Amino acid sequence: MTSSKVKEKQPLRISVGNSNLGKNLPLNRVKTTKYTWLTFIPLNFYEQFRRAVYFYFLIITIVSFFVNDTIDPLTSLLPLLFVMIVTALKEGLEDYSRSKSDRIVNSAKVTVIRNGKEQCINSEYIIPGDLVIVTSANDVPCDLVLLHSYGSENMCFVNTANLDGETNLKTICGPSNYAYLSLEHDKNLGIIVCEPSTSDLYSFNGRIEFKTDSNGAIPLTIDNLLLRGVRIRGQGRVIGCAIYTGMSTKLQLNSRYTGNKSASSEQYINKFIIALIVGMVIVVFILYLIERQKAANVYPTVYYLGPLPDYNAVLQIFEDFLSFLILFNYMVPISMYMNIELYRVFGALFMKSDLCLYDEETDQPCSVNASNLNEDLGQINILFSDKTGTLTKNQMIFLKCYTEGTNYHLQNTQLYCPNTDERYELGSMSPEVLDFFEALALCHTVDILEAYDERSSTERQSEHDSLITSDIIGRYQASSPDEKAILEGCARLGLIFKSIDNNTLHLNRILHEEDVQELQYERLQVLEFSSERKRMSVIIRDENDVIWLYSKGAETSILPRCNKSPQIEQIDAQITEYAKEGLRTLAVARRTLTKSEYETFVASINSANIQLMNRKELIAQCYDNIEVGLDLLGATALEDALQDNVDKTLVALQEAGLKIWVLTGDKVETAFNIGMACKHIPSSAEVHFLINLTDPMELEGRLKQIEVGLSSGSSKLPTALVIDGTTVAALLLHLPKKFADLALQCKAVLCCRLSPLQKSEIVMLIKKSGSHITAAIGDGANDVSMIQEAHIGIGIPGREGKQAARSADYAIAKFDMLQRLLLVHGHYNTERLAFLVLFYCYKNIIITGCMALFQVYDLFSATSVYNDLYLWLFDIIYISFSFTYLAMSEKHYSENTLLRFPILYKGIAHNKLTSWRTFIIWILNAAVQMLIIFYFAYAILYDNNIVFKHGQTADFSTFGTMLIMVLVLVGNLKVLLVSHYMSYLNFAFIVISIIAFMLSTYLYNLGGGNTLYHVYNMFLSSLPMWLYIIISTVACLLPDFLMKAVNDMFLEPTLRQKRKSSNRSTSKNLDA
For the chain, give the longest Cα–Cα distance.
Answer: 125
Contact between 670 and 582 under an 8 Å Cβ cutoff? The reply is yes
Q: Which of 948, 1002, 994, 954 is nearest to 970 (CA)?
A: 994
Instruction: Tell me the C-alpha distance between 243 and 195, whole Å.
Output: 10
Contact between 848 and 331 under an 8 Å Cβ cutoff? The reply is yes
> Left, alpha or beta for 983 (phi > 0: left; psi -120 to 50: alpha)?
beta
265: CB partners within 8 A, 6+ apart: 375, 376, 833, 837, 911, 914
Instruction: Tell me the C-alpha distance between 605 and 525, whole Å.
Output: 10
* Vertex 178: Cα angle to 134 and 547 (nearest 5): 115
| Catalytic, out of 386, 647, 666, 1040 | 386
User: Residue 968 belongs to what H/E stretch?
Assistant: helix 956-978
Q: Which of 1024, 997, 840 is nearest to 939 (CA)?
A: 1024
Instruction: Tell me the C-alpha distance between 261 and 789, whole Å.
Output: 10
Q: What is the DSSP string of 516-584?
A: EEEEEEEEEEEE---TTT-EEEEEEE-TTS-EEEEEEE-HHHHGGGBPP-HHHHHHHHHHHHHHHTT-E
865: CB partners within 8 A, 6+ apart: 850, 851, 854, 959, 960, 963
Instruction: Tell me the C-alpha distance between 937 and 957, whole Å.
Output: 13
205: CB partners within 8 A, 6+ apart: 194, 195, 220, 221, 611, 612, 615
Instruction: Tell me the C-alpha distance between 541 and 521, whole Å.
Output: 6
Q: Tell me the one-letter amino acid at 57.
A: F
3-state secondary structure of 447: strand
Instruction: Tell me the C-alpha distance between 196 and 128, whole Å.
Output: 12
Find residue 776's DSSP bridge partners.
Answer: 384, 793
Q: Tell me the one-letter amino acid at 693.
A: L
Contact between 100 and 116 under an 8 Å Cβ cutoff? The reply is no
1067: CB partners within 8 A, 6+ apart: none
Nearest 5°: phi and psi at 322?
A: -65, -30
3-state secondary structure of 370: coil
- CA distances to 329, 834, 866 from 290, rounded to whole Å, are 19, 36, 22
Nearest 5°: phi and psi at 953?
A: -95, 150
User: Residue 558 belongs to what H/E stretch?
Assistant: helix 555-558
β pairing state of 659-663 and 748-752: parallel
Contact between 294 and 301 under an 8 Å Cβ cutoff? The reply is no
Instruction: Tell me the C-alpha distance between 586 and 603, whole Å.
Output: 30
3-state secondary structure of 792: strand
Instruction: Tell me the C-alpha distance between 433 and 445, whole Å.
Output: 22
Going 277 to 283 to 288 to 291, the CA torsion angle's sign is: negative
386 in catalytic set: yes
Instruction: Tell me the C-alpha distance between 368 and 347, whole Å.
Output: 10
Catalytic sites, residue numbers = 386
